[in-house]
Structure 1
């Protein structure tokens, strides 16, 4: 895909993935890579920022002798995701109009 995912849109996508269920870091990066062109080195700083901002929480669980770090969405994160969804709908409608060659004055 030639279009790149910017900061807030990437955050929205991460929150949406995690909203379904808590997910450990590696699985999250694999799911994100299936949907968009993004590297682990891009995702982990975003995850840390979302956690710092109170939108995600983390916990560790043992798995085959190692710990997996799981990410879960907080209530504040769910509210932020809802805001992103509303903003996305308006943004998408405007972009669709531009790409379809429709003038706003028509």
Structure 2
């Protein structure tokens, strides 16, 4: 998939995955890959800055947790603002997809 197509949508993708329970960086990366049937295989260098930006914007909050391996890992959860933002972004996405589908797949009717 063309990485340019992700621009403007990565925040929504990450919010969606966090909303369904994947709470730490590596799990988020793996869940994006799994849910996209491996069409989106994003590197940590893409996801971690997104997580920091979302946290700085108050859409997610983080806390530290000890993993079964004994290492600490940062767990992310949606804030109320993040839940609201995700709902709004999903609504906008549905409208956008409907408009693009009409433009690309509906037969053109000539006015002649």
TM-score range, shorter chain: 0.7 to 0.9
**1:6 pairs with 2:7:** yes
Unmatched 5+ residue regions in structure 2? none
Check whether the contact 2:29–2:47 (CA below 8 A) recurs between aligned residues.
yes
Q: Paired residues, what number?
A: 105
Alpha-carbon distance between aligned partners in 2 of 1:51 and 1:88, rounded to the nearest angstrom: 22
Is the contact made by 2:29 and 2:41 (CA closer than 8 Å) also made in structure 1?
no
1:102 Cα deviation (Å)?
3.8
When you count strand as a share of all residues, which structure comes out higher?
1
The two structures have a TM-score, normalised by structure 2, of: 0.82
1:15 partnered with 2:15: yes
What CA RMSD, in Å, does the superposition of the two structures yield over aligned residues? 2.2
Deviations 1:36-94 (A, max 9, x none): 24221111111100000000000111122210111100000000001101100110001
Residues 32, 101 of structure 1: alpha-carbon distance in 2 compared, 3 angstrom cutoff: same
Residue deviations 1:10-45, cap 9 Å, x none? 111111111122511111111123322422111111
Structure 1 residue runs of 5 or longer lacking an equivalent are none
Aligned match of 1:51: 55
Which residue of 2 is the match for residue 42 of structure 1? 46
The answer to whether the 8 Å contact 2:65/2:73 transfers is: yes
TM-score, normalised to structure 1, is 0.86
